[in-house]
A and B are shown apart, each in its own frame.
Chain A
Amino acid sequence: MLKEKYKTEIDEILARYPVKRSALLPLLYLAQQEEGYVSEAAMKEIAGLLRLTPSQVYETVTFYTMLNLKPVGKFHIQVCKSLMCALVGSDTVLGWLKTKLGIGPGQTTVDRMFTVSAVECLAACGTGPMMQINDDYYERLTEHKLDRILADLRMSGTSALKSGPFMWPEPSGAVRREG
Chain B
Amino acid sequence: MPTYEKILLKNMEQPGYTGSLPDYERAGGYQALRKVLGKVPPAEVTATVIKSGLRGRGGAGFPTGVKWGFLPKDYQGPRYLCCNADESEPGTFKDRQLIERDPHQMIEGIVLACYAIQAATAYIYIRGEFVLGAEILERALSEARTAGYVGKNILEQGIGIDVWVHRGAGAYICGEETALLESLEGKRGLPRVKPPFPATHGLYNEPTVVNNVETLANLPHILVRGAEWFASIGSAPKSTGTRIFCVSGHVKRPGNYEVPMGITFRELIYEHAGGMRGKETLKAFIPGGASAPFLTPDHLDVKMDFESVAQAGSMLGSGGVTVMEQGTSMVWATLRLMEFFYHESCGKCTPCREGSSWLVQTLRRIIDRRGRMEDLETLTDLCKNIAGRTVCAFGDAEISPVLSTLKHWRHEYIELIHAAEAANLIRPEPVGAKR
Contacts and interface: CB of A to CB of B under 8 A. Distances in A.
Interface of A: 16, 18-19, 21-26, 28-29, 50, 59-60, 63-67, 81-84, 86-88, 119-128, 132, 135-137, 163-169, 171, 173
Contacts of A24: 186
Contact of A173 (B15, B169, B346): B15
6 tightest Cβ-Cβ pairs between the two chains A and B: A24-B186, A64-B169, A66-B170, A21-B186, A125-B248, A65-B170
Interface stretch (B147-155, B306-314, B332-340, B360-368): B332-340
B235 interface: no
B132 A165 contact: yes
Interface stretch (B91-99, B225-233, B351-359, B380-388): B91-99
Contacts of B89: 121
Contact of A67 (B12, B131, B169): B169
Contacts of B93: 123-127, 166, 168
A52 to B, nearest CB: 8
Interface stretch (B64-72, B252-260, B389-397): B252-260
A126 B255 contact: yes
Contacts of B415: none
A14 to B, nearest CB: 12
Given A83-B290, A165-B19, A166-B100, A25 B249 contact: no
A120 B343 contact: yes
A40 B189 CA distance: 21
Given A21-B187, A63-B189, A124 B96 contact: yes
Given A23-B186, A126-B246, A168 B169 contact: no
B178 interface: no
Nearest to A128: B248
Contact of B167 (A29, A120, A128): A29
Contacts of B156: none
Given A66-B170, A164-B132, A166-B100, 10 more contacts: A19-B185, A21-B187, A24-B186, A25-B167, A66-B169, A82-B290, A83-B333, A84-B91, A135-B132, A136-B131
Given A86-B336, A171-B15, A165 B87 contact: no
A123 B340 contact: no
Interface centre among A21, A63, A125 (most CB of B within 10 A): A125
Contacts of A22: 166, 184-186
B167 A82 contact: no
Given A19-B204, A21-B187, A126-B246, A167 B336 contact: no
Contact of B132 (A18, A163, A168): A163
A119 B435 CA distance: 10
B169 A82 contact: no
B186 A25 contact: yes
B97 A25 contact: no
A59 B187 CA distance: 8
Interface stretch (B53-61, B296-304, B320-328): B320-328
B268 to A, nearest CB: 13
24 contacts: A16-B166, A19-B185, A22-B166, A25-B169, A64-B168, A65-B171, A66-B128, A81-B339, A82-B340, A83-B90, A83-B340, A87-B322, A88-B250, A123-B96, A124-B96, A126-B247, A126-B248, A127-B255, A135-B131, A164-B132, A165-B101, A166-B97, A168-B97, A171-B15
Contact of B92 (A21, A23, A83, A123): A123
A175 to B, nearest CB: 11
Interface in B88-132: 88-93, 95-97, 100-101, 127-132
A64 B256 CA distance: 29
B408 interface: no
B239 interface: no
B349 to A, nearest CB: 15
Contacts of A171: 12-13, 15
Contacts of A87: 248-250, 322, 324, 328, 333
Contact of B97 (A63, A65, A83, A167): A167
Nearest to A80: B90
A120 B172 contact: yes
B254 A25 contact: no
